[in-house]
Amino acid sequence: MDLTYYQINSFATSQFAGNPAGVCPLAEWLPDDVMQEIARERGVSETAFLVGGNGRYQLRWFTPTVEIDLCGHATLAAAGVVFAELEPTAERVSFDTASGELTVTRSGELLEMNFPAWEPEVIALPPELRSGLGASPREVLANARDVVAVFEHEDEVLALQTRDDELMKLPYTLVIATAPSTTHDFVCRVFAPNAGISEDPVTGSAFSTLGPYWVKRLGKESLAAVQRSERGGEVLVEELGERVLIRGRVVEDFRSTLALEGR
């Protein structure tokens, strides 16, 4: 069996920026262990597998080590493949996922994801967060999935030198560091060692948590954010009550053929 594998840069400002995701359209589901092996072999932070057609797909995401229940940049990448290759006349695509229905629509040159809003609440500073970040934030918030460390200045976020062994002691998928930005509304970095990722280049689903926080803090409905990883990327966020709209560009990096023996 031959599969087409696409590598797509999501939230990219240029060809070699943004967050690379693998996308594998399938006629039917492969065994879980095979999809996990494909994700491990390709080595990007997340690989999306999708089955379906006619504007509606089932979608699953795998890191190199584990299946996860939500991934923003790989959802954006999957939608980019649908719009560019599978259904080039479509304006909207729906994905059925472990986190419910997610929709992506064309928005000019951008793609717009409709994701759940997960407002975080203030918590005490966990000692593992302080030791894992190597710095003390001014405020710490969390929801069921993410913990957010808020700093006064952008430079503090950029200077962080993290320790995976300490951050892995925290009961969260994403560890997010954020601060006001001098060029955008806010800046962030995202660490996910519990998902096998030391630092994620650009993390779409993090804005389900960051959007509600910064909308309330800045008093603005629409925000421009930048994630300051080595590759970096820009994200536009708009809050809609219990949902957030997350917008960004996708750029195809390359495509290849995967030959699966005995299938």
142 against 13, higher pLDDT: 142
Confidence of residue 86 (pLDDT cuts 50, 70, 90): very high
Mean local confidence (pLDDT), 205-234? 94
Same fold across 2-114+248-259 and 121-241: yes
Alpha-carbon gap, residue 54 to 93, rounded angstroms: 8
Mean local confidence (pLDDT), 41-63? 96
Confirm whether 46 is a catalytic residue.
yes
In the chain, % of residues over pLDDT 90:
84
Rounded to the nearest integer, the mean pLDDT of the chain is 95
Confidence of residue 263 (pLDDT cuts 50, 70, 90): low
Residue 212's H or E segment, with its range, is helix 207-218
pLDDT in tens, 68-80: 998 999 999 999 9
Maximum distance among all Cα pairs of the chain, rounded to whole angstroms: 57
pLDDT in tens, 157-186: 999 999 999 999 999 999 999 999 999 999
Of the options 3.20.20.10, 3.40.50.150, 3.10.310.10, 3.30.450.30, the CATH number for the domain spanning 121-241 = 3.10.310.10
Active-site option among 46, 154, 199, 239? 46
Residue ranges covered by each domain of the chain: 2-114+248-259, 121-241
| Conformational region of residue 18, where left means phi above 0, alpha means psi within -120 to 50, and beta covers everything else | left
One DSSP character per residue, 35-91 reads HHHHHHHH-SSEEEEEEEETTEEEEEEE-SS-EES--HHHHHHHHHHIIIII-TT-S
Checking if the pLDDT of 106 tops 90, the result is yes
pLDDT in tens, 242-259: 999 999 999 999 999 998
CATH of domain 2-114+248-259: 3.10.310.10
